[in-house]
Every structure is written in structure tokens, then in C-alpha cells.
Structure 1
């Protein structure tokens, strides 16, 4: 193998740049030429490639987002679009591809692998919803962003003796809500993986009021529903002032934490190792702090679920 390519696809996540840097520099360490694909699968179809040297990835490890940019491509979902992408890769002499992104990006990677191109995925998404890996790139930064925001909200909640409902991202997964909820002492955490009873949440609030507690934080994962609607229902049931904050895309930006920079560097380097070993149709995962490869087929057979022991502990400690 002499030339590989790297792209980022789907939603951006802090640490993607660190992963790009690792792919480029590990590739050059092994004497490979490395090509960057602009704007994900759309760039594959358009042939938007650029050669990347050691200097191309200088001074980016601390930056959020992705220097290769990202986009969603409906055309790539078609057989014609995929054929065009493979044609462009072969025209540029690319023998291996590293795809940094989430589950939708990995479905695209599998299509390319099925067409004979050696392809390896690196899980980059703040949602932490990829089966088979303990953590994804960007998750740690996202929960730290949420924690910083909730710390500030709690100051206001304390001053005004109010209940605050905070809606966090995560798509259909509750990992961000669970980890941030435990770390910030939220009184209640609503996630799509666990049933919730609004009457029980109200009872918890009223129980706190009886022992002198005058403010509360309730975290709602977006997969549960609208934080605004849930806040309104709580207000109607309690009669107390309730405010809602939807954190939104602020959770996807910002300088990656040390944990995400290290994870991204390890995963990006491992992706190059896998390609050089002749491995394809695999993703890089971290399991029990060991970075390794896992077949996409095996990973897709699993079902992601947040660590429910953390969810349960958060409920116990918020009693």
C-alpha cells in the first residue's frame, strides 16, 4: 500500500482534527502518501482531494471541528454515487480509506469495502452511540461542555429558587445526559433507554422542597422529546417557576479535552495500522482502555446502551 485517504463525515465532533493529524503523520511515518478528502462523501463524488504532508496537520490538535469539513450526501446513497466515488479514489491511486464519523458514515464505509476498497472507520461522534466501543471521539468534550453550562445554570437556579430543565443532545442515545447528570448532581435524568414517570419526578421535586431544597436541575436527552414541553408539564403539575434551556449545537464545538485528543490520536494511528495489515470493513474501538479493531458486521450486531449502572447511581445520589 502506497497511498491512503482520510475523510470526516456526518456531524462534527471535537477531536476529529486530532484523528486526522494522527492518520496523516502515522501514514508518513510508514512511508505512505496521504490524501485528504474535503466534505466527506460529497468530496469523494466530486473528486475534491488534496495531498497532505506533515505541515498540513500542524497546529490543529487543539482545534474543534474538522479541517477537512463535513457534509451529508444523498447522492452517495445511490449506486451511481458510490461507483463515482470508487472511480475517483482509484483514479487518484488511493488503496485505503479512513472514515472518521458516526454510524451513518460507517454504513457508507461498508459500501466502499464491499466494492473492494480497503476501508477502516474511526468513531467520531459526541453521542457515544456506536456499538462495540466504550467511547467515541468528542463524547468527553461534549459532556464537559454540558457540565460547564449546568454549573452556571445551577447558580441562577439557586439564586432564584427555580427548577431548570436542561435539554442535551445525543440523538437517540442517553449517554450525554447520564454522564453529565451524575457529574453535575442532577435531580432527575430522562433518557430514551429508560421509562420515566412525570409524577415520580414531581414527587421527587416536592420531597426535596419539604426538606428545604429550593432549586433543582432536570436533564432531558433529546431522544426523549422536547425539553420545553416537559418543562411546561412540570410547571403545570408543581405550580412552581420552571425554566428550560436547550443547549443545542454548543455541545459539538470547542477545543477537545485531553482525553479526546489522546483517544483520537490512538484511534487514528490504529486505523493506519489496520490498513497496513490488510484489514478492511473494520472500525477502530476502545475496550477496557485497549485500542483495537472490530469488524463492522460484528459491531452492527450489537445494540448500544448507556452504562445503566451510572444512570442508577445518579438516581441514588440525587435522592
Structure 2
């Protein structure tokens, strides 16, 4: 192993830059040449590849987004696109690749692995939906962004005695909604993993009114339905004034928290160690604050498990 590459793919997540920095500096520490691949798998196919030095990753540990940028790449889903990617890696003499991203990024790494090219996956997504790791890079920062928004919205909700629906990201996973709702004291949390009972939600809102509750906060994961659609369901059933806040892409941006910076640094460095050890087709993660690695193909066959005990607790505390 003399040359390694690193790319970021899919949706950006705070802490990706810290992971890139760790890969580059860990690689150089072990006398490897490290190449950055810009614009994800699109850049790989097009050969947008440059050698990175120590200074290339200076002053980025605190920055959100990704200096390598990201792009969707339908072409890489085809055998022809994957073969082009392998050819570019070999053209640049790259022996192994670190892929930072979510589920779709891992599928690309899986394809390269099956073509005989060693790849290591590093989980970078605010959704926290990658099997094999308790936390993904970017989740903690996005969570704190959502909680900050909930705290601010509650001030207005209380002042005007209204119910606010806050729509957060999470197409297939409700971790962000669940953690933010529990930490933010939401009365109702709606997630993809569990069916919701509208009668129960309406009853909770009415009970709040009876005891002179000044406001209510409902957190809805986008994977269930839009906040606007959910508001219509509530207003169809009862005469409650509802406002909707869609947090959108604000959840992806911002300087990463200390937790995400440390997690990204540890995972990025471990990915390089695995390549040096001659291992490929693996993904890194964290469990009980210990670094782990596992088969990337096997991981994609598993489903992320949300902590339903936390969901139960949120309902018990919102009576």
C-alpha cells in the first residue's frame, strides 16, 4: 500500500472535513501518498483526482460541508461506470480507497470491492442510519441544530399559545426526530419506524388545552409525511391553530460539534490503518465508544435499528 484515495459522497454531513483531514494526515504519517477525489463517484469516473499534502487539510477540522465536495452519480450504478472508476484508480496508482458517506456511498464501495479494489467505508450522514455503528459522523451536530431550533420555536409557540409542527430530516430513519424530540421536550414524535395514532395525538393536544397548556411541539420525520400534510390531519380533527416549520438543509450545515470532530478523526484514522493492514471491503464504526470494523457487503444486508425504548420513554414523558 503506497497510495490511497479518499472521497465523500451523498449528502454532506458536519465532520466530513475532520474525517478527510484524519485520512490525509494519518496516511502521510505512515509514509503514504494520499489523493483526494473531488465530487464523489462523478469525480472518480471523470478523473478529478489530486494529490493532497499536509497543508491541503489545514484549518478544515472546524468547517462544515466537505472540501472534496459531493455529487449524485447515476452512472456509477452501472457496471460500465464502476469499471471506469476502477480504471481511474489504477491510472493514478491508487492502491486503496476510503469512502466517506451514507448508504448509497457504501453501495459504491461495495461495487468496487466486488471488482477486487480494496475500499473502507466511513459512516458520514446526519440520519444516523448506517448499520454496524451506534453513531454516524454529522448526527450529533445536526441533532444540536434541531434542538436549538426547537428551543427558539417554543418561545414563539408559548407567546402565541400555538401548536407547532417541526419537520426534520430522516427519510427512512427516525433517529434525528426521536433524539431531538426527546431532548427538546416535544409532546409528540412521529417517526417512520412506528405507526402513529392520530386519535391519540389529538387526545393529547386536547388534554393539554384542558390543563391550560400554553403550547405544543410536534416533531415529524420527513419520511412519514411533510409537516404541512400532518398539520392538515390535525386541523381536520380539531379546532387547534397549527404552524409548521420545515428545518430543511439548515440541519446539514454548520461547524461540527466536538463529538463529531473526535468521532470523524477516530474513524478516518482507523480506515487508513485497515488499508495498511491489507484489508478491504470493510466499514468502520463505533460501539460502546470502541472502534469496530465489519464487512461492508454484510452491513448493507442489515437494517438499522432505532432504539424503541427511547420512543416509549418519549411518550411516557409527554403525558
- Give the shorter-chain TM-score range: over 0.9
Distance 1:90 1:301 in 2: 29
Distance 2:112 2:298 in 1: 17
Please list every run of at least 4 consecutive aligned residues from structure 1 whose deviation after the TM superposition is greater than 3 angstroms: none
**Residue pair 2:103, 2:300 contacting (<8 A) in 1 also:** no
1:11 equivalent to 2:11? Answer yes
What's the counterpart of residue 277 of structure 2? 277
Correspondences of 1:1-319 after superposition (within 5 Å): 1-319=1-319
Query: Any idea what the Cα deviations from partners look like across 1:34-56, whole Å, max 9, x if unmatched?
Result: 00000000011100001101100
Q: Please give the TM-score of this superposition, normalised by the length of structure 2.
A: 0.99
Query: Any idea what the Cα deviations from partners look like across 1:126-147, whole Å, max 9, x if unmatched?
Result: 0001111100000001110000
Number of positions where the alignment pairs a residue of Structure 1 with one of Structure 2:
319
1:308 to partner: Cα distance: 1.1
Q: 3-state SS of the aligned residue for 2:304?
A: coil
Q: 3-state SS of the aligned residue for 1:297?
A: helix
Distance 2:135 2:279 in 1: 22
1:312 to partner: Cα distance: 1.1
Q: Please give the TM-score of this superposition, normalised by the length of structure 1.
A: 0.99
1:298 to partner: Cα distance: 2.8
> What are structure 1's unaligned runs of at least 5 residues?
none
Q: State the superposition RMSD in angstroms.
A: 0.8
Q: 3-state SS of the aligned residue for 2:27?
A: helix
State which drifts further: 135-144 or 227-236.
Answer: 227-236
Distance 1:121 1:47 in 2: 20
Distance 1:232 1:142 in 2: 27
Distance 1:197 1:20 in 2: 43
**Residue pair 1:193, 1:305 contacting (<8 A) in 2 also:** no
Q: 3-state SS of the aligned residue for 1:225?
A: coil
Query: Any idea what the Cα deviations from partners look like across 1:151-195, whole Å, max 9, x if unmatched?
Result: 010000000000000110011100000000010000000001011
> What are structure 2's unaligned runs of at least 5 residues?
none
